[in-house]
Amino acid sequence: MRIRSYRLLSQVIFLFISIIGIAGVAKTGLILPYFFCNASPGAVCFCPLWVLEHSSILMRIDLKTALAMVFFLFGSLGLVGLLVGRSACGWACPIGFIQDISKHFKGKSKLKIPLNVLFGALITGFLMVLSAFWFPSMATGYIGTAGIVVAALALFAILTKLDILFVNLTVTIISMISIVSIYLYLWDEPGVREIWFFFALVLLFVSTLTVIQKPILSKQTVVRDTKYYHQNRLYLIKYFILILIPITSFIFMDKWFTNIDPIGALSAGVPVLMYESDKWNVSDLLWLKFFLIALFFWLIFITNRGFCRFICPIGAMMSPTNKISLQDIKYIPENCTKCMKCIKSGPMRINIFEMHHDMECIRCGRCVDACKDGALSMVLLNKTIK
């Protein structure tokens, strides 16, 4: 069995583990080594960024407790990192899972999805969103959120596959009209207005992308997969964000990143809003989060694992552990024919030929699957496991 099959199974398992709170499981006190908001109604573990923010705020109130939180945070992540490095990004993170799925809805994917299946997925996505309003519950809140993702992926694939400018422009205009109509006729319906406004906004961004991708994004740009990772300095953005999080939390005594975090809104805010639309007090920052989520969808369509490569501060937090982890990807130069298939298959655009405990590698194993010459293998304590 190829590594891809094991990875897919692992991602599905960790997705359910991340939301197992819907089955009545209480908070465990453990810290996840990947991105999933602990404010999510189904979350049973804490998000590393939430712990980092709170410990930074507590530095000015209760230094002893703050230091204990910091030691627990980096001790937990360090233990995971020592064993498998940044593998959680490639094998466990639900946000990484969404990005992996999205590549199959792009025009250049090897998996050719028939048009009728895509239309079926689009309709299914709409029905999933409606289910949260028809049968409000914690479970349907997640189903509705997943429906937005499914509909966005399906719409992008349909418009890309049809490749008719008139159709793409029409869908874009319809999305704009929907947003204006919601503002005019649903603005007095708290909860309902937010969800449908957000849904229409995501579809607007997706359809607009299909309009501009040929004349603008088809050109060779830094966001496309044309360079090795370390030749594209945009990857440093996530380290800058990580540094800013504790500094701003300490200075302003507030969780600035959580307040605008699009992933937190996608995994926590939107599911809650789906099934408790009449109870939740929506903050003004939610509109900014909605806009940033729409940008997130743009980013994952423009480039593979775009959020992981350029934005994710948890990836930046886990990256140094690749240098000490017991697991790694081993490169055997004498077996290599320089066919470049490994680099083309890797979402992080690592230069395999110079890779040695590379900090940006998510150990997904795609390069190992792509290599037919036995030049790459996944190892644990220098012993080959695949």
Residue 241 lies in a domain: no
154 shares a domain with 100: yes
Side-chain half-sphere of 281: how many Cα atoms within 13 Å?
A: 0
Q: Is 354 exposed, middle or buried (0-12, 13-18, 19+ CB in 10 A)?
A: exposed
DSSP state of 106: S
Residue 238 lies in a domain: no
Q: How confident is the model at residue 240 (pLDDT cuts 50, 70, 90)?
A: very high
CATH number (domain holding residue 346): 3.30.70
Give the end of a domain, one of 93, 118, 146: 93
Angle at 248 (CA atoms; ends 244, 249), nearest 5 degrees? 115
87 shares a domain with 100: no
Reduced 3-state DSSP string for 10-31: HHHHHHHHHCHHHHCCCCCCCE
The distance between the two most distant Cα atoms of the chain, rounded to a whole number of Å, is 68
Give the end of a domain, one of 276, 297, 317: 317
Q: Could you report the per-residue pLDDT of 59-108, keeping only the tens digit for each?
A: 999 999 999 999 999 999 999 999 999 999 999 999 999 999 888 887 65
Count of C-beta atoms within a 10 Å radius of residue 196: 18
Residue 155 lies in a domain: yes
Instruction: Give the Cα separation of 28 and 255 in Å (integer).
Output: 22
If DSSP codes are grouped into helix, strand and coil, which group holds residue 141?
A: helix
181 shares a domain with 39: no
The whole-number pLDDT of residue 107 equals: 60
Closest Cα to residue 312, out of 247, 249, 261, 365? 261
* Domain range enclosing 346: 327-384
191 shares a domain with 117: yes
160 shares a domain with 150: yes
Residue 57 lies in a domain: yes
Count of C-beta atoms within a 10 Å radius of residue 117: 11
Closest Cα to residue 142, out of 36, 284, 290? 36
Give the end of a domain, one of 64, 93, 122: 93
45 shares a domain with 147: no
284 shares a domain with 178: yes
266 shares a domain with 189: yes
Task: Report the number of secondary-structure helices (H) and strands (E) in the chain.
Answer: 18, 3
The whole-number pLDDT of residue 220 equals: 44
140 shares a domain with 275: yes
Domain tally, the chain: 3
Q: Could you report the per-residue pLDDT of 271-315, keeping only the tens digit for each?
A: 888 887 665 556 677 778 888 888 888 888 878 888 998 899 999
Instruction: Give the Cα separation of 386 and 383 in Å (integer).
Output: 9
177 shares a domain with 88: no
Closest Cα to residue 109, out of 377, 347, 375, 351? 347
If DSSP codes are grouped into helix, strand and coil, which group holds residue 92?
A: coil
Name the pTM for this structure. Answer: 0.86
DSSP state of 383: E
